[in-house]
Amino acid sequence: MFFFKKLLSYFILPPGIFLIVFLVIAILSKKNKPVKILSLSSALFIYILSIEPTKDLLYRPLETAYAIPSELKGDAIVILGGGAYRTGILKEDSTKRLLTGFTLHKQTGLPLILSGGTSVSVLPEAEIMKSVLVSLGVDKGAIHSEVNSRDTEENAMEVKALCQRLKCKRIILVTSAYHMKRAVMSFEKAGLEVIPYPTDFKRDLRYNLYSFLPKMSVMADSYKALREHLGLIWYSFRLDG
């Protein structure tokens, strides 16, 4: 009974309900071959993107690019923002990056550089992150922030300018593992020596029957991975040009 209830919930809620709708359309469109093919293709596309093995496959080349370093010899810890809500609460990516940077600061005593200006909330991301760090007991004098950047490329340029004022040449870069390739690409292009410290890993790699049932959260993660792959292609053209 428990399994049946669980299974039912997966196909009543999105994206499972979308699969049902497209399959029904395909069944009702027996004489309309183009519509049938389109409906079945849409159902298959949604299903593939909403199961965990596909999500992990998409993240694999992104998250395996850099391992967590064993030595941390840098001049500062740079934390990249990952979004905030209108309420002023950090989103999941930002929170995990911030907690990792906080832990590294406690371990090394290195100053923190927070980067992130784009936000739908009242304060820029960097300022929200700063307030969280201060509430955790970090000395304000150890925190430096820039609030003008809107994307990773601008993160790198703004942090480079800040590093020049602080006389920092080698940074420990903290961001989500899936975002690290693009971040390193941008920061090295800006002329900084980078020690990548990936966090916020999205892959699970432990599967069971539920891993092959469609989930909206998995589909959102798959979207994020695809968006990052497109971003890498775009940045490759921009930085090579």
pLDDT digits (tens, 9 = 90+) for 44-54: 999 999 999 99
Q: Is residue 167 part of a domain?
A: yes
In a domain, 103, yes or no: yes
Within-domain flag for 189: yes
Same domain, 95 and 194: yes
At 185, list the tokens: 């690409």
pLDDT of residue 117: 85
Residues 17 and 116 in one domain: no
Q: What is the DSSP string of 196-231?
A: EEEE---------GGGGS--HHHHHHHHHHHHHHHH
CATH number at residue 156: 3.40.50.620
- The pLDDT of residue 123 is 84
- pLDDT tens readout for residues 69-114: 999 999 999 999 999 998 889 999 999 999 999 999 999 999 999 9
Output the pLDDT for position 41.
97
Q: Are residues 45 and 159 in the same domain?
A: no
Question: Which phi and psi angles does 143 have, rounded to 5°?
Answer: -115, 130
Query: Are 110 and 185 contained in the same domain?
Result: yes
Q: How many CB atoms lie within 10 A of CB 202?
A: 19
Instruction: Check residue 239 and give its pLDDT.
Output: 61
Kindly tell me the sign of the dihedral angle through the C-alpha atoms of 148, 153, 157, 160: positive
Residue 40 lies in a domain: yes
Note every long-range contact of 183-186, with CB atoms under 8 Å and residues 24 or more positions apart, other chains counting. Answer: 183/80, 183/152, 183/155, 183/156, 184/66, 185/232, 185/235, 185/236, 185/239, 186/152, 186/153, 186/155, 186/156, 186/235, 186/239
First to last CA, the chain: 59
* Residue with tokens 């970090």, as numbered in its chain: 138
Same domain? 87 vs 13: no
Residue 235 inside a domain? The answer is no
Of 76-85, 109-118, 120-129, 202-211, the least confident? 120-129
Q: Are residues 81 and 189 in the same domain?
A: yes
What's the rounded Cα separation, in Å, for the pair 127 and 178? Answer: 24
* Mean of per-residue pLDDT scores for the chain: 93
| 137-176 pLDDT per residue, tens | 999 999 999 999 999 999 999 999 999 999 999 999 999 9
Same domain, 90 and 2: no
CA distance 181 to 200: 14
Tell whether 144 is covered by a domain. Answer: yes
Residue 105 domain-assigned? yes
Residues 20 and 84 reside in one and the same domain:
no
Asked whether residue 81 falls in the same domain as residue 160, the answer is yes
Query: Is 138 found in the same domain as 85?
Result: yes
> Do residues 125 and 95 touch, judged by C-beta distance below 8 A?
no
If asked whether residues 37 and 84 sit together in one domain, one would say no
The reported pLDDT for the residue numbered 65 is 96
193 phi and psi angles, rounded to 5 deg: -85, 125
Q: How far is CA 232 from the centre of its chain?
A: 13
More confident residue, 186 or 3: 186
Domains: count for the chain: 2
Provide the residue range defining the domain that includes 136: 76-199
240 lies in some domain = no
Q: For residue 235, what pLDDT is reported?
A: 81
pLDDT at residue 241 is higher than 60: no
pTM of the model: 0.92
Residues 103 and 181 in one domain: yes
